[in-house]
Structure 1
Amino acid sequence: MKHASTICLLLLLLVTGCAGHQEYQGHFHHMDKKERSYKESDIRFTTNEIDIAAIGDLLIHERVYNDAWNGEKYDFLSMINPVQDYLKTPDITMANQETIMGGEEIGLSDYPQFNSPFDLGDDLQEAGVDIVTMANNHTLDRGEEAIRNAIAYYEEIDMPYTGSFKSEEDQQTLRVLETEEGISVAFLSYTYGTNGIPIPDGKEYLVNLIDHEQIKKDVSEAEELAEVTIVSYHFGQEYQRLPNQEQKDLAQFAADLGVHVVIGHHPHVLQPIDWLEGKDGNKTLVAYSLGNFLSGQYELYRRIGGILQFSISKDGSNVKVHSPSFLPTFVQFDLIDETITDLQVLPLKDVSEQQLPDASDHLSEIKEHLSKNIEDLEFIE
């Protein structure tokens, strides 16, 4: 819908005036969200709204890609199929690609130095994922070659990525995804480290490390290019269900910079969601850890992840993040002689007592755990 108001024209001029910065333009396959208009003081305003979703770690162990092999290709799509609609419906869906997608040509591999097949990228895109974050402790597992292979394939299938880059110029090109609703979103991604694997000298662009000055600079540039900034942190302590002080401090640092949403990964278990107030009074939505979305880990809480969804509305120059909601998920599989078969990611609400004893009690506990800090967290039914 087009609007001929002077205010919209001024906004357009402000946006195009930022053309001096490098910006990545994304493309989408589901653009059918709502647009509302109202009249105030004889001036026509438009309130646009989009939904964004985020999922946790894609931790592709050997037992996962072995189960995905169907004799012709690695079929991850059938594993994700039960929750695919929840990934496709939002305007933008982001995922954390924990295991580098270097492809079969350099040999697939498991923990502690992962490498995943290209089929994973195709299937994530088909399932509804629009952008992947690559900055994590496993980014350098298989060296520079795996990173370049992954990026080349993401570029081949037109999948935006952030957090790991092929060059300094690529690193300096902020990922800003435009939606048809007129709301632009910048995505930034950083990790606490790379498991002791050194970044090659002069190639710091291969992975973004958590550095306050770099984050401050990136957020400042993102504010010039986009209306919404989302920061992904790979941080925290593995398997701890509550955020540590470092996580809280880094999230508050982002809030004080004016970041709209912080998405956390690495602990491999769900941690509570929260609202933080920035120094200028702004509100920042924080998911300290979204747990594992797809993995081969056995322990109960490492099999429970989920899909975080939230809305962003734009009313004139006012942009607001609101209405966070969550769908808890469960990685269901059969285990025969330590071999995983028939793996699927299921909504936890649909898991049977046979698949998970006391499933309804676990769902209730997860809901209480996630919403302990906020009252406005809804759960997707």
Structure 2
Amino acid sequence: MAARWQVSLAALAAAALVACSDTARPSTTPTTTSATPTAAPARPSPSATIPTTPATTQPLVLAIHPTRAAQDIDLTTARSIVRGTVRSWRGFRVGSLRQAQRSTTTLALVPASAAGPSIRPVTIAGIDPFKDPARYPLRTPGPQPTAPVIDLTAGGDVMLGRRVATAAARTGDVSRPLRAIGPRLASADLTVLNLESTLSRAGTPQQGGDSFAAPPGVVAGLRAAGVDVLSLANNHTGDFQQRALLETVRLVRAGGIQPVGAGGNLTEAARPAIVERDGVRFGFLAFNAIGETPRATASSAGAFSLRMPPRTGPLNAGDLATVTRAVTALKAAVDVVVVLPHWGQQYTHTPVPAQRTVADALTKAGADLVIGGHPHWVQSVQFLPGKVVAHSLGNLVFDMDFSQQTQEGVLLELTYWGKSLKAARLTPYVIGSDFSPRVVTGTRAEQILSDLR
């Protein structure tokens, strides 16, 4: 895709200035289907041809490396960058799309139709070119965006039991840790998290002090935070045995959230969750590679499971074939396939080699997003054409306050235009002493994101 758009900055600037001169006024209606007003034509001169304003335009995106923190620029400076009169800004040097995909200090000019998850868009006066393309002020000739804008947010491990539950109970609000970041989660059209605690104590604790059970009332708080899908394929869904696992699945579903990855038997545990937004069908599968929660079988409850290093033995070819077949079947039924593995080594930023092997098999089978959990630290992110593999987003809510890294994480915020993934943003946060995550910016954000490179 990038190769087709290796045009010169000068050519882009000339095209963009036709459509975004100071006389142009962007539409004030935030809709993806309305036409953007064009600039007034230049006055003719005896020796010049009158420039023709293109019939349709698209956003001209200022793009940086996807592991850089969010950046916002004023319109005057943005236009100066387009004209070529400003060649550097806040430590970024203007360069090509390919350079921006590889370098954390390059700023590129990219037509929206050439963009994808391998770059992060810079907002202009707070306007995002992919979330609000009709109001975005920098334009260049090209296809006018008409597909619906759909935002999908994925978060990391959520544990609402143990000390988190004790602290929240003192306030009388069992969902208190979700309140600070809840509005951001709810602003997405579709939100998915990993619930790493049961909602029942119906059985005997299986992991001693590391057996996690949250109050059932947290489901209402999760739903109020906009959560649509919860992965239950992890090593704590079975912490209070089979009856508690089944009760957790039931309570999640009864609360208006789709559970995925665990159930009363293998058929239920492997069943995908499917959510439709604006005519686009998103399908979710989840599996547990850590153990501890029983493997679901044809006749017994548990999690959809895959045996792999470092916890459940060598990579099992039969398990992987079962999972990839499920991915391929789901891809035939939906537009976007999201796989949620619970895998990897705890307390490291580096994925084990088997994670990359499995991720490669999943994407080849049809997975568009692979979003992992369990390591409790953030791990590297791979940006493929139209696809993203995030090995670990870290903890979102947890009481692991024994290290800095276990109190840091990122939201993966994705924007689709219809079925096409246009942007992936990594939004860092820090978990406070009240176990609530809060978004951070500036130096702290850059420090967290540097661990993903």
TM (norm. structure 2) is 0.62
Q: Aligned in 2, Cα 1:238/1:203: closer, same or farther, shift over 3 Å?
A: farther
Give 1:1-381 correspondences, 5 Å limit. 35-36=32-33, 46-70=146-170, 73-76=172-175, 78-102=176-200, 111-171=209-269, 173-179=271-277, 181-195=278-292, 198-199=294-295, 202-203=298-299, 206-210=302-306, 211-276=319-384, 283-298=386-401, 299-314=403-418, 319-333=419-433, 342-349=434-441, 361-370=443-452, 372=453
Which amino acid in the other structure matches residue 80 of structure 1? Answer: L
**Distance in 2 separating the partners of 1:35 and 1:212:** 40
* 2:341/2:372 contact within 8 Å kept: yes
**Deviating more after overlay: 62-71 vs 108-117:** 108-117
**Distance in 1 separating the partners of 2:254 and 2:181:** 26
Q: Aligned in 2, Cα 1:204/1:343: closer, same or farther, shift over 3 Å?
A: same
Partner in structure 1 of residue 5 of structure 2: none
* 1:164/1:205 contact within 8 Å kept: yes
Q: Secondary structure at the match of 1:240?
A: coil
**Distance in 2 separating the partners of 1:305 and 1:330:** 7
**Distance in 1 separating the partners of 2:194 and 2:31:** 27
Which amino acid in the other structure matches residue 219 of structure 1? Answer: V
Higher alpha-carbon Rg: 2
Which amino acid in the other structure matches residue 188 of structure 1? Answer: L
* 2:336/2:367 contact within 8 Å kept: yes
* 2:261/2:286 contact within 8 Å kept: yes
Which amino acid in the other structure matches residue 363 of structure 2? Answer: A
Structure 2: runs of 5+ lacking an equivalent: 1-29, 36-54, 57-143, 307-318
Q: Secondary structure at the match of 2:235?
A: coil
**Distance in 2 separating the partners of 1:200 and 1:36:** 46
Q: Secondary structure at the match of 1:225?
A: coil
Bigger relative contact order, structure 1 or 2, given CA contacts below 8 A and separation 6+?
1
* 1:186/1:226 contact within 8 Å kept: yes
Partner deviation per Cα, 1:281-312 (whole Å, 9 max, x = no partner): x5420111000000000110100012110112
Following superposition, the deviation at residue 193 of structure 1 comes to 3.2
**Deviating more after overlay: 295-304 vs 59-68:** 59-68
**Distance in 1 separating the partners of 2:245 and 2:294:** 14
Q: Secondary structure at the match of 1:265?
A: coil
Which amino acid in the other structure matches residue 174 of structure 2? Answer: D
Following superposition, the deviation at residue 119 of structure 1 comes to 1.6
Q: Aligned in 2, Cα 1:34/1:183: closer, same or farther, shift over 3 Å?
A: farther
Q: Aligned in 2, Cα 1:61/1:170: closer, same or farther, shift over 3 Å?
A: closer
Structure 1: runs of 5+ lacking an equivalent: 1-32, 277-281, 334-341, 350-359, 373-381
Following superposition, the deviation at residue 246 of structure 1 comes to 1.0
**Distance in 1 separating the partners of 2:283 and 2:297:** 28
Q: Secondary structure at the match of 1:232?
A: strand
Count of residue pairs brought into register by the alignment: 304
Which amino acid in the other structure matches residue 244 of structure 2? Answer: A
**Distance in 2 separating the partners of 1:200 and 1:225:** 24
* 2:265/2:296 contact within 8 Å kept: no
* 1:88/1:128 contact within 8 Å kept: yes
Partner deviation per Cα, 1:222-250 (whole Å, 9 max, x = no partner): 11221000001111100111212111111
Q: Secondary structure at the match of 2:157?
A: strand
TM (norm. structure 1) is 0.73
Following superposition, the deviation at residue 113 of structure 1 comes to 2.0
**Distance in 2 separating the partners of 1:200 and 1:53:** 28
